[in-house]
């Protein structure tokens, strides 16, 4: 019999890509759960068992974990820096999802449990300059995480650790670093920098405005992980024999200005940058050190930033192009 896999947050960006990948494996019976109504899921698959429910409730967690062998917990309330800085309480409430899924896993004898953490757990004092050395897993302590979202992720990491130590639940944890790619959010306030900047350049190109807004001064640095690499890293961590916390990120650190340069090259279009110094920008510098995950598991990303941005840009361009065509049709008729 095939193992039963539950993907929580399956209607989200990373969750949807993970489900798509697991379907291609053809090794599992897949159950999907997300708080959003099915018609709002980023990707929807009729061949999976799909639930729209709130996993902050223990009763719902018990329901969807019954008879399940493996769990991937991708479910949380999150978005780009603008969202997490202005919705700290909502982000922290996601701790109920992880807590109740772990309780349900113990009750229903789940074999293995994966938790998706974030680079937002890292100590802020180690990210005060741009182009910093890559952050190692131990740099999360002494704890000074991103307020709200980062603290929820760090607390949930500890919860996983103690469920392993005290109850024997096999947990696996990956700290994601700025995951981006096609089939994700690129507008509306929850989008992250790569998608937001691709959208702004594309829209400027359509409008012939020759300018875009950039949050901060553009000198803040990050590393960005393409979604395909995120999925391979997730599966590598999950299938390993280690319950350590592992970075799943890229070591290719760039400034926001450098990323705009890359997008301009892809677009064949130059823009003036209007720096919004009053807007959220997060820490000054953040990047991943992958030495531990490579040493223990042998995983490293295979896509560089320009390749990933090209694929992301192309997808967003088509989406905006279709929207532009629909708007013109609506105005005409």
By the 10 Å C-beta count (0-12 exposed, 13-18 middle, 19+ buried), 241 is classed as exposed
Match 């553009």 to its residue by tokens.
218
| Cα atoms in the 13 Å half-sphere on the side-chain side of 89 | 0
Give the span between the Cα atoms of 198 and 91, in whole angstroms. Answer: 26
Catalytic residue among 51, 70, 113, 149: 149
By the 10 Å C-beta count (0-12 exposed, 13-18 middle, 19+ buried), 288 is classed as buried
> ω before 142 within 30° of 0 (cis)?
yes
Give the span between the Cα atoms of 263 and 204, in whole angstroms. Answer: 12
- Work out the angle between the directed axes of helices 95-107 and 58-65 (0-180°, nearest 10): 50
Is there a catalytic annotation at residue 122? no
**Residue 29, SS3?**
strand
Catalytic residues: 149
């Amino acid at each position: 019999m095939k193992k039963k896999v539950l993907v929580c947050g399956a209607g989200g960006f990373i969750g949807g890509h993970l489900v798509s990948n697991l379907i291609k494996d053809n090794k599992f019976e897949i159950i999907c759960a997300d708080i959003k109504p099915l018609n709002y899921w980023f990707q929807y698959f009729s061949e999976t068992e799909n639930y729209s429910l709130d996993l902050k409730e223990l009763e719902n967690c018990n329901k969807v974990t019954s008879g399940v062998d493996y769990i991937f917990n991708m479910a949380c309330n999150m978005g780009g820096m603008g969202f997490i800085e202005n919705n700290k309480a909502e982000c922290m409430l996601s701790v109920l999802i992880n807590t109740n899924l772990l309780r349900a896993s113990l009750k229903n004898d789940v074999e293995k449990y994966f938790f998706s953490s974030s680079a937002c757990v890292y100590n802020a004092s180690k990210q005060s300059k741009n182009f910093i050395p890559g952050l190692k897993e131990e740099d999360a302590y002494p704890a000074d995480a991103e307020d709200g979202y980062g603290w929820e992720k760090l607390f949930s990491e500890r919860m996983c650790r103690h469920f392993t130590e005290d109850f024997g639940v096999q947990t696996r944890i990956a700290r994601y670093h700025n995951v981006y790619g096609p089939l994700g959010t690129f507008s509306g306030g929850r989008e992250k920098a790569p998608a937001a900047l691709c959208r702004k350049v594309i829209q400027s190109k359509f409008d012939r405005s020759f300018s875009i807004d950039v949050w901060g001064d553009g000198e803040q640095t990050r590393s960005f992980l393409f979604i395909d690499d995120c999925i391979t890293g997730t599966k590598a961590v999950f299938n390993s024999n280690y319950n350590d916390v592992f970075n799943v990120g890229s070591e290719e650190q760039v400034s926001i200005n450098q990323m705009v340069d890359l997008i301009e090259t892809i677009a064949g279009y130059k823009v003036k940058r209007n720096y919004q110094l009053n807007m959220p920008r997060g820490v000054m510098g953040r990047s991943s050190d992958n030495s531990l995950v490579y040493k223990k598991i042998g995983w490293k990303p295979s896509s560089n930033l320009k390749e990933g941005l090209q694929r992301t840009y192309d997808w967003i361009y088509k989406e905006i192009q279709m929207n532009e065509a629909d708007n013109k049709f609506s105005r005409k008729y």
